[in-house]
Structure formats: C-alpha cells, structure tokens
Amino acid sequence: MLSLKSLNPEQKKAVEFDGAPSIIIAGAGSGKTRVLTYKIAYLIEQGYNPGEILALTFTNKAAKEMKERIKKLIGVKAQELWMGTFHSTFAKILRIEAKSINYDNNFSIYDAEDSLALVNSAMTGLNISSDTVNANSVRHRISYLKNHMIFPKEFKERMMASFLDEKIAEIYEEYQFRITENNAMDFEDLLLKPIELFENNPKILQKYKKKFSYLLVDEFQDTNKAQYELLKLLATKDGKICVVGDDAQSIYSWRGAEITNMLNFEKDFRKVKVFRLEQNYRSTKNILAAADSIIKNNRDQLEKTLWTSNEEGEPLSLLKCSDEKDEAYQIAKFIKEEIHENKLSMKDFAILYRTNAQSRALEDIFRREKIPYVIIGGIEFYKRKEVKDIVAYLRVITNQQDEESLLRIMNFPQRGIGSTTIGRMIGFARKHGITLFDTMSRVFEVIDIKERIQKNVKGFKILLDKYIGLRTKLSASELTRSLIDELGLIRMFREENNPESLNRLQNIEELLSAITDYSKEKPEAKLEDYLQEVALINDLDLAKDDTNLVTMMTIHAAKGLEFPVVFMSGCEEDIFPLSTKFSSDASVEEERRLFYVAMTRAQKKVYISHARSRYRFGEVAYQNRSRFIDELDAKTLSEMNGNAGRKANRKSKKEIYYEYFENLDYEDFTQENRSLKIGSRVMHDKFGMGKVIQLIGAGENQKATVSFEGNNVKQLMLKFAKLKVLN
C-alpha cells in the first residue's frame, strides 16, 4: 500500500486528485518532482495500467531518475510507463508510424551542427554566397520559425520584409526539401511531424488518445507552441491531464518556450483544478525573501506565496570587484573560507553565470589557486569531432539516404576523395535523381574523376555495404568496435602521439564503453535505437553526481539543480540582464526570472558579484551593477569588502590589457579546430586582440573578418593568419 504520509496537505491533495484537468503551480524547491512521482505511483495503485500513462519531462536524466523513484514505490510495473522527454517520446511514435508521413522508420535525427551543414549545403545548391547570408543566422532563424510552427509557405506569404528574408525563405524551403530527401528530421521536426501525423490521420490520433488515458507533464512552463498543440491533440474528452510547473522559472523563450501556455491553461481546458505548492524545502528564509523581492517586479505571473520553515540563514553576500580577475580571486577566496569554516566539500559549490564566455577568467584563477572544477555545458561529449565522425558512420549504416552524414565521412579517415570529386558526384546524383550513396556504385560513370579516385570510392562503398549487412547480425557494441578497428582510427591516433590525438583516442574509447554499456542494458535494442538516444542526449544527462569538484555553468544549465552555496557572477547591466538597450519588457521579465532561478538553486548561502570593469569585445568596459541587485530587499543583503589580497584600485586600460594576456594558454587555430566562431575573441601577432564578426567559406579557403582594437577591421585567410583563439 502506497503511503502518502510524507506529503504535506496540498501535495497530498494534488496527488489524490483524479478528476478534471489539473495544474500544479509548484514554486522553487517545493517538491514538485516528489509530487509528480507519487501521483504516477498513486494512479497505478488506483488501477491505471502503467502502459496507458504518458509522462513527459524535459531531460533524459529527469525521466530516468523519476522512473527509478516510481520503481521503488510500486515495483517493476513502473517499467511499462511511457516516460521520457517530448522529443524521445514522439520520436518513438514517429518510428512506429513513419510510413504514414512518407518516412522510413530508420530516419536520422540531426542536431544543430548537422542542421548547419544542411543549411550550408542548401545555400551552395541555390548559389547563395556566405558573403550575402550568414549560414548560422539562417539556421537559428529556421529553428525559431519551426518552433513557432511557421512553415516555408506561410513565411513566404506573410512574413517577408526584406531582401534577406527572401533569401532565408529560399533556403528554408530547400532545407526542408533536403532534410526529407535525406530521410532525416531535426529536433523541431520531432515535434512538428507528430502534429502532421495526428492531424492527417484521425485513426492514428484516436489510437494514441485511447492508448494514453492519463497525460502528465513536468516543467510545463518550458513548453513551446508545438508541444502544447500535441498535448491538446492527445488529451481525452474527460480531460485526464495534469501539468506541473512554475511560471517564475520560465526561462527558455529563446528556444520557443511560451509562458502563455501556463498562463492560459485554465482557459484552454474546462473545469481546471488548481493546486499551489508554496512550501519551499530547499532554501533559507533569507534566500526566499530575496528571491520574492525580485520576482514580484514581474507583471506576468500566477499568484502564489512561497514560505519555508527552514532556518533564517545568512544574508546574501554582495561582492564588489575591480575586474573579472579580482572577481575570480574573491570567489576562490570565499570558497576556501566556506570549506574551512563550515566543513563543506568542493561539490557543495556552484558558480553560475549568464553566458559561457564568463568562465574564462574563473578557470584561469581556479587553476592558479588549485581549486578543482568541472564545467557543465562546454563541448558536449557527443558533439566532439571524432565522436560525431563515428556516429556519422553508424547513421549511414542505418540510413543510406542520410547525405549529410555520408558527406562528413566520405574522406575520413583520408582516402583521397576530395571536395572536387564529391562535387561531381553530387552533380551526377542530382542529374539522375538518385542518392549520393547510390552514386558511389556508379562512380565509373561520373565524368572527370580519375581512375585511382574511382577505386577509392568503390572501396569505401564496399566497406559501408559490409557493415550494412552486419547491422542485424551484430550488437551495436560489436559492430562499432569492428568498424573502428577496420578504419584504423585507434592506430592512427596512437601514431600521431600528441596531446590532441591522445585526447581523441580517449574519446573514442569512452564512446565504445558507452555503446557497450547500452548493449548490456538493452540487449534487444537496435543500432538506430542507440543513435536516437545519442541524438537526444545533452551535457546535463552526462553529468556525474559523485565527483568532488566545484561546478561552473550557465544559469540555464543549472535549472532543476541545487547546491548548498551558489555564486552568481557577472551581475552587471548588459551582462545580467543581458543587453537591454533594445529589449522588450517581456525579455527583461525573463532575465528577472533567470535571476530568480539562480538564487533559488541555493540551499544555505548566496554570493552575488559584480565588477567595476570587465574586458569585453577587445577592450576594457566600465560596468554598472545589475538593476536586479537594486531590486533586492536591502534587509536580505550584506555588502562585503575585500579584494582577495589583490590590488582593487582601478587599473589603466594598458595595465589590464597586458595583465589579461599574462600566462594565458593560447589555442592555435587549425582547420580541425572548430572553436572559432562568430563572436570569438582572437589574438593576432600584428593587429593585437580582436573579435570575429564574420566567417566566410570553408576548409582551406575559409576567411574571417575581425574587428581589432581601434575599430581596425581586417579580412584574413585563416590558413595563413595564425590567429590564436581566446574563447
């Protein structure tokens, strides 16, 4: 018998309710995961079939942890639950019903990098120069449009306002055509295609409405338009849907999340029952009072009053710093003091910042001060080049129509198939209406390809055919291990024997371990099942909880986490809130919600730091402290003095400039190094420090337009420029 004694009265009411649609407004630290877990267990105990319950979360890690908790409450029946992220759940449905939307069920899933490659390919096909349109900007625009369910036809008819829009409309249309031809979907398609499936196939919709007798949604405030449409389509007439969220923690509008979904839920569903979880179990009274004093400045919010029976706690500490280096020293100093005075461990601390670039100064000082740390949200494991290369091989083995993956591996490892040959093969494929994969079989028909290269292409095709044939005979682990051996990657990286190649070797070994573990956990799973899991995984899913390291991450990455002590760094105007010169009131309100989220990650103590000056965009900028600091209830705040034993006096621009480069580890740019991007800070021997404002071309012909100090703009050929990438 499931006991609900550990729940407070409002939590218990929310768990036991089994009537009309319900919304659980769950404040920060109010135990929403606990309530959702118990509610699912309770429904099953009351007679619901676990296989008829659909529970949707926003990370794979959250889904896995919740399922484990439910398993402890009710046993192995929890395994039958349909529980996962929106993307993984609907990808599963799309594989089952793929034929109904003219897809094969072995479709590939493209991440942001794959989508960017496809945009570039579409631009090349349309003869649109990268001098005219920036491919990455186009990719972001396409993602935005799809998240808001705006398709190429509608964009063309209603939203074009400039020459640039005309080009984007052309590329968007070509992009959609090519991704379909590749039997692939991007992340947005995993939500849009199910809507298409259900709207065009009423019988299939009824099948899933009947299957899922109860819908539950975690982090409802983060849903976008497509996700909400799916929920409305699947909800049954009796309205067995329960959504859980906190409008004060809606921080993802930049990826399509709409706070209006939460604000309008009571209008969109009839007779909605509202539960408010207002008791906070995480933070001290002081932290909660400070957070409340911030969030009450927002107009768009649902009514709730958070309270806690926890201790009063210390005031929040405000650190005034001279620059980013002083800020990092002060944070290091207070971490050491907290460890000494309160017997804390390194893992008890989190340093949160608004943008990833802010970690650079912190890392420099932490290395010098010998404080071990981990960064969440750097280059994700499955986005590292050698890992993506191997995954691309596996994608082609499962889906021969995936042209982008095939192009990625055509000459990796090098087999003498250059860009000119590939261009001719693509031209042949387009002319004859066949895939690039099939063109490899007919390479002898392609004009102007040398016999030696034809043999290389044929040998590559034989290799792929071999593993396509083995796909159903070997486990994912056995097939990948054999493929890597035959490609000679391990031998190749060992022979190179430099730090970079050894790091790549370790990544390949880690990938093999991951695939082996997956095969052991799911012996019946197919290779495409593993590829789907890889495509939808993120850095937080890979984070380990048992390491004793200080955690550094953006506030967005910290959502859902908690730490005894939290440092909020870089709390200055134009950093946090992020540049508000041209921002709407709504975006400022979201920045304020982000500030609220950062504060409420803390259990015992919050430090807020801001600097008088900071090195930004190649020059020293003098900063004003964040408006959010001034909105804090003064009673909750204590201003700290001290500069960690370093000079706190204002430095000249020249002093800061030279100090900035002292002992800095440079990263040489090569064509293999993908860290250079628009916005990167770089160093040139002659022109000094600058910021990349445009990238044109690819490979050996790639050029960068860089704005150096003194507004000295130069266009440089990367092959010869010897730029050093700072971040």
Burial (CB < 10 A; 0-12, 13-18, 19+), residue 123, is buried
Separation of alpha carbons 648 and 325, rounded Å: 10
User: CA 83 from chain center: how many Å?
Assistant: 20
Which residue is catalytic, options 33, 37, 308, 398?
33
Across-strand partners of 696?
703
Separation of alpha carbons 253 and 587, rounded Å: 9
**Closest residue by Cα to residue 552 from 417, 358, 344, 695:** 358
Locate all alpha helices (DSSP H) within 212-270, ordered by sequence. Answer: 225-234, 260-268
Separation of alpha carbons 39 and 610, rounded Å: 43
Separation of alpha carbons 652 and 212, rounded Å: 65
List CB contacts of 300: < 8 A, sequence separation 6 or more. 247, 259, 263, 586, 589
Buried b (16+ CB within 10 A) or exposed e, 508-537: beebbebbbebbeeeeeebbbbbbbbbbbb
Which residue is catalytic, options 11, 32, 61, 480?
32
Which residue is catalytic, options 11, 85, 221, 249?
249
* Peptide bond before residue 202 is cis, with ω within 30 degrees of 0: no
Which DSSP string do the residues of 113-163 spell out, in sequence order?
HHHHHHHHHHHHHTT--TTTS-HHHHHHHHHHHHHTT--HHHIIIII--SH
Phi and psi angles of residue 299, each rounded to the nearest 5 degrees, phi first: -85, -40
Q: Respond yes or no: is residue 111 known to be catalytic.
A: no
Q: Respond yes or no: is residue 72 known to be catalytic.
A: no
CA dihedral (370, 372, 378, 380) positive or negative: positive
Locate all alpha helices (DSSP H) within 411-498, ordered by sequence. Answer: 419-432, 436-441, 451-470, 476-487, 489-496
Copy the structure tokens of residue 497.
């024997």
C-beta of residue 276 within 8 angstroms of C-beta of residue 245: no
Write down the residue that tokens 């919600």 correspond to: 593
Q: Respond yes or no: is residue 249 known to be catalytic.
A: yes
Instruction: Map residue 89 onto helix, strand or coil.
Output: helix
* Peptide bond before residue 499 is cis, with ω within 30 degrees of 0: no
Q: Give the neighbor-by-neighbor strand order of the sheet with 550-554.
A: 373-376, 550-554, 349-353, 563-568, 602-611, 316-321, 637-640
Assign residue 419 a region (left: φ > 0; alpha: ψ between -120 and 50; beta: otherwise). Answer: alpha
Q: Respond yes or no: is residue 33 known to be catalytic.
A: yes
Phi and psi angles of residue 552, each rounded to the nearest 5 degrees, phi first: -115, 135
Separation of alpha carbons 714 and 302, rounded Å: 51
Measured CA distances, 40 to 48, 68, 83, 352, 504 (Å)? 9, 12, 11, 33, 43
Which residue is catalytic, options 61, 276, 282, 601?
601
C-beta of residue 117 within 8 angstroms of C-beta of residue 179: no
C-beta of residue 224 within 8 angstroms of C-beta of residue 255: yes
194-197 long-range contacts, Cβ below 8 Å, gap at least 24?
194/90, 194/93, 194/94, 194/230, 195/149, 195/226, 195/229, 195/230, 195/233, 196/101, 197/93, 197/94, 197/97, 197/100, 197/101
Which residue is catalytic, options 114, 186, 188, 219?
219
Copy the structure tokens of residue 633.
């209830």
Rounded to 10 degrees, what is the CA torsion of 217, 223, 229, 230? -40
Separation of alpha carbons 143 and 172, rounded Å: 10
Copy the structure tokens of residue 588.
């400022």
Separation of alpha carbons 452 and 657, rounded Å: 54
DSSP 705: E
Which residue is catalytic, options 114, 188, 189, 218?
218
Catalytic residues: 32-33, 218-219, 249, 601
